[in-house]
Amino acid sequence: MSAHLETNTGVDNRKFAMWTLIGSECFLFGTLIVNYMINRNRGLAGPTGPEIFNIDLTTLSTFDLLMSSVAMALAVFYCKQKRLRAMQISLATVVIFGLFFLGFQYYEFNHFVNEGLSLGTNIFGSSFYLLTGCHGIHVAIGVMIISTLLIQSLIKGESWFNDDVVEICGLYWHFVDVIWIIIFTVVLLLVLI
């Protein structure tokens, strides 16, 4: 274990802070999701959900993020096991899956705009873009953080097994994935109701 002060809960301060941030982010995304649910049918012009959603692509995005979560969990595990190569491969996988996800999202947004749904077309679209855009920004930040970790470990090699940091960044990444699980279900379900 890296040297940190003994804490009352036995958890590293940074890890505790990350969980607290995640608690806070629950409210951030909760508000955005509620906003989307309230506004899903409020389009006065332009297309709304059922006409425009591409479930195949959304499913693929979901699968992609879930797999990145698996890779992240493995990266944390290998870091604790001090298996450098395996950890680096896992981290690289996370980054690649993350970039794929961002690519899918770019494609999807582009597609929607071509279908005539831009940010200001109707309230449904605005809420949808706000929700998925905010999530996308989180993914982008995650990709940046994880690439930084990867580059660090590539430069410093065996001397770099910062397992607390990898674990904490992993928490962030998993949480972004969890949010997508909820968004996916909400989007699917609301097409039906």
| Using rule CB under 8 A, residue 11 touches other proteins | yes
* Nearest CB to other proteins, comparing residues 10 and 85: 10
Tell the smallest beta-carbon distance from residue 158 to other proteins (Å).
Answer: 19
Pinpoint the alpha helices (H) of the chain: 13-39, 49-52, 55-81, 84-114, 123-156, 163-192
| Using rule CB under 8 A, residue 56 touches other proteins | yes
Distance CA 141, CA 10 (A): 28
Tell the smallest beta-carbon distance from residue 167 to other proteins (Å).
Answer: 8
Report the site for other proteins in 128-187 (rule: CB under 8 A): 130, 148, 167, 170-171, 174-175, 177-178, 181-182, 184-185
Residue of 193, 189, 190, 149 whose CA lies nearest to 168: 149
Q: Count residues contacting other proteins (CB under 8 A)?
A: 71
Name the CA dihedral angle for 21, 95, 158, 155, rounded to a multiple of 10 degrees: -100
Stretch that binds other proteins, among 19-27, 92-100, 107-115, 156-164 (CB under 8 A): 19-27
Residue from the set 2, 21, 92, 111 that interacts with other proteins by CB under 8 A:
21
| Using rule CB under 8 A, residue 89 touches other proteins | no
134 Cβ neighbours under 8 A, 6+ residues apart: 28, 29, 32
